[in-house]
């Protein structure tokens, strides 16, 4: 049987749970903040470099987490945090260079909050399929949480090792969440597949072009999955508040599989585009000169006015579209522990494109 952590003394009303969401302006963090605030029994503190506007039950803190003194100044007074949800990320040119800053940010947050808040009960770490070596090339699929590790460097692995060691003598536990490519709304982030698809398709339509898959030839038929940001938020909170999940890692994905060769025509239909044969090209190159086109589209269609840099994740699109091997993980462990929700992927993409239109991000 799975028991939830107690949140209040016997006979008392529900006590406030205080979530510190680190990386609150990214695709993952933004949705997690909204989900927690909507649950009604959480106070939410969002942490990011940019900060954000306050909302009911939500306030934001802007801080550079690589600066330990700044982190202590910004977070050292938070004496009631019960849960840390860590989803921050710093990009670097090489895999080896990712380790130092990403481990330092996590360490700075955990050490500061642990010293400040005697109420801390759990630290949730957002990871990904890099734990399985998915970024390096074909890997064992479907990947399972119990799979053997691979040759370092890998910052996800180092972050988890730090939490395992740090929590041994602490009053808090940890869990690790491993989504596939996360799909949701955010601007100004380096990893946003939904924005890649939506802006690429919108520009193709503006130029009177068919929609061509730009990735590696074998990637068009590889077997893939993605993770809806809303589903991920639910799973992350579930794991962080379910006692049996302490000290566990979970793959979280939508629950269905697809191939671009099957999904691409559906994306084309959504945008009213014919689909032409795939044509390998690097988006970070062919889209580099499209800022003037974006400005013209913004004016012509009355869009919200996001700068081209805010809606461009072309390098990430190139990475995703280069996967000419299966990119899937076994999600059954989470189901065995009690999380049974799923999302149909084609419906998810349509809903997220609808949301971008409602926000006037795309025409």
Overall domain count for the chain: 2
211 and 146, same structural domain?
A: no
9 in any annotated domain: no
Instruction: Name the phi and psi angles at 45, rounded to 5.
Output: -120, 115
91 and 35, same structural domain?
A: yes
Could you give the CA distance from residue 117 to residue 216 in angstroms, rounded to a whole number? 49
Which position has the token pair 């730090």? 162
218 and 166, same structural domain?
A: no
pTM of the model: 0.95
5 in any annotated domain: no
85 and 46, same structural domain?
A: yes
Could you give the CA distance from residue 183 to residue 349 in angstroms, rounded to a whole number? 8
Give the strand pairing for 248-252 and 181-183: unpaired
62 in any annotated domain: yes
- 62 touches 88 (CB < 8 A): no
CB atoms within 10 A of CB 36: 25
Residue-range definition of the domain harbouring residue 343: 189-225+257-358
Task: Render each residue's pLDDT in the chain as its tens digit; 363 residues.
Answer: 233 333 333 333 344 899 999 999 999 999 999 999 999 999 999 999 999 999 999 999 999 999 999 999 999 999 999 999 999 999 999 999 999 999 999 999 999 999 999 999 999 999 999 999 999 999 999 999 999 999 999 999 999 999 999 999 999 999 999 999 999 999 999 899 999 999 999 999 999 999 999 999 999 999 999 999 999 999 999 999 999 999 999 999 999 999 999 999 999 999 999 999 999 999 999 999 999 999 999 999 999 999 999 999 999 999 999 999 999 999 999 999 999 999 999 999 999 999 999 999 999
Question: Residue 61's closest CA among 46, 80, 42, 78?
Answer: 46
Give the distance, in angstroms, between the CA of residue 181 and the centroid of all CA atoms in the same chain. 7
């Amino acid at each position: 049987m799975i028991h939830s952590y107690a949140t209040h003394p016997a006979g008392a009303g529900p006590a406030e749970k205080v979530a510190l969401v680190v990386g609150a302006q990214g695709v993952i963090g933004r949705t997690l903040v909204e989900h927690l605030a909507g649950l009604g029994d959480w106070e939410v503190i969002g942490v990011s470099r940019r900060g954000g506007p306050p909302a009911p039950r939500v306030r934001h803190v802007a801080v550079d987490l690589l600066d330990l003194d700044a982190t202590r100044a910004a977070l050292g007074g938070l004496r009631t945090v019960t849960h840390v949800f860590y989803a921050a990320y710093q990009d670097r040119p090489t895999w080896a260079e990712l380790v130092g800053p990403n481990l330092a940010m996590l360490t700075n947050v955990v050490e500061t909050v642990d010293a400040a808040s005697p109420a801390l009960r759990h630290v949730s770490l957002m990871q990904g399929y890099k734990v399985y070596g998915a970024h390096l090339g074909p890997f064992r699929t479907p990947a399972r949480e119990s799979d053997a590790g691979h040759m370092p460097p890998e910052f996800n692995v180092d972050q988890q090792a730090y939490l395992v060691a740090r929590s041994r003598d602490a009053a808090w536990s940890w869990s690790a969440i491993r989504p596939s490519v996360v799909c949701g709304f955010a601007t100004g982030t380096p990893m946003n597949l939904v924005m890649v698809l939506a802006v690429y398709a919108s520009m193709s339509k503006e130029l009177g072009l068919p929609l061509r898959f730009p990735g590696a030839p074998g990637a068009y038929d590889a077997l893939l999955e993605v993770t809806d940001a809303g589903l991920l938020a639910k799973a992350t909170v579930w794991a962080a508040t379910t006692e049996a999940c302490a000290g566990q890692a979970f793959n979280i994905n939508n629950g269905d599989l697809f191939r671009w060769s099957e999904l691409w025509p559906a994306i084309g239909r959504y945008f009213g585009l014919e689909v032409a044969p795939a044509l390998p090209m690097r988006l970070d190159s062919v889209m580099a000169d499209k800022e003037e086109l974006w400005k013209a589209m913004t004016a012509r269609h009355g869009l919200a006015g996001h700068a081209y840099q805010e809606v461009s994740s072309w390098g990430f699109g190139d990475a995703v579209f280069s996967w000419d091997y299966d990119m899937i993980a076994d999600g059954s462990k989470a189901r065995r522990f009690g999380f049974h929700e799923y999302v149909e992927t084609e419906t998810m993409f349509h809903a997220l494109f609808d949301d971008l239109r409602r926000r006037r991000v795309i025409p």
